[in-house]
Amino acid sequence: MMDKKCTFYQNRLIDIFYEEDIMDKEIQEHIINCHECNKYWKELKEVKIKVDKDNEEIPIEYIKISQAFDKVEDIKSKRLNIINLVIFIMISSVLLGIGLVFAMQGFGREIIYFQVIVHTVFPIFLLIFVKIRTLKEDYNG
Ligand SMILES: [Zn+2]
């Protein structure tokens, strides 16, 4: 997962690499403070050294590969979202199923207990879910 800010800076780094943009204070500061972008810039510079030596068309290929990696990361996080949702739906349907079974067997009071539990436990569950998600998203930021 890549930070939106980092995507912006890395796109700028590519422009700087092609001398279509200049290294200003803002981007310099980000590179100093951001491990991800620092690595990215070092890799770009390494490619430049290599290209200057060999005079080959590597950079375009390199950027294509790096963009492909970004896409894979994107798809991965999208899949993770879908998995989370599926798990959530599965848990809800299982709980609903248990509730229905109890209802059919005439456990009126148990149903009420069940409803109370669902309505108190589920929001907590949701909160934990959201918390985990935001923690994961902030990890590389
Ligand atoms: Zn960054």
pLDDT digits (tens, 9 = 90+) for 108-138: 777 777 777 777 777 777 777 777 776 766 6
> What pLDDT score was predicted for residue 94?
81
45 has a pLDDT exceeding 50: yes
CB atoms within 10 A of CB 100: 11
Digit-coded pLDDT (tens) for 48-71: 776 666 655 555 666 666 666 666
Q: Is residue 68 part of a domain?
A: no
Q: Is residue 37 part of a domain?
A: yes
CA–CA gap between residue 20 and residue 73 (Å, rounded): 27
Q: Is residue 86 part of a domain?
A: yes
Cα–ligand 1 centroid distance for 35 (angstroms) = 7
- One-letter amino acid for residue 11 of the chain: N
Cα–ligand 1 centroid distance for 125 (angstroms) = 32
Instruction: Tell me if 77 sits within 8 A of 1, measured CB to CB.
Output: yes
Query: Mean pLDDT across the stretch 74-87?
Result: 68
Query: Both 51 and 93 in a single domain?
Result: no
CA–CA gap between residue 32 and residue 50 (Å, rounded): 23
Cα–ligand 1 centroid distance for 101 (angstroms) = 53
> What pLDDT score was predicted for residue 29?
95
Q: Is residue 109 part of a domain?
A: yes
Q: Is residue 125 part of a domain?
A: yes
CA–CA gap between residue 135 and residue 97 (Å, rounded): 32
Cα–ligand 1 centroid distance for 128 (angstroms) = 28
Q: Is residue 62 part of a domain?
A: no
Query: Both 51 and 12 in a single domain?
Result: yes
Query: Both 84 and 51 in a single domain?
Result: no
Residue linked to tokens 């290929």: 61
Q: Is residue 123 part of a domain?
A: yes
CA–CA gap between residue 24 and residue 51 (Å, rounded): 24
Q: Is residue 8 part of a domain?
A: yes
Instruction: Tell me if 6 sits within 8 A of 34, measured CB to CB.
Output: yes
Query: Both 139 and 92 in a single domain?
Result: yes
Range of the domain at 48: 1-56
Task: Work out the pLDDT band at 25, boundaries 50, 70, 90.
Answer: very high
80 has a pLDDT exceeding 50: yes
Choosing from 11, 27, 56, the residue where a domain stops is 56
Digit-coded pLDDT (tens) for 35-44: 999 999 998 8
DSSP state of 21: S
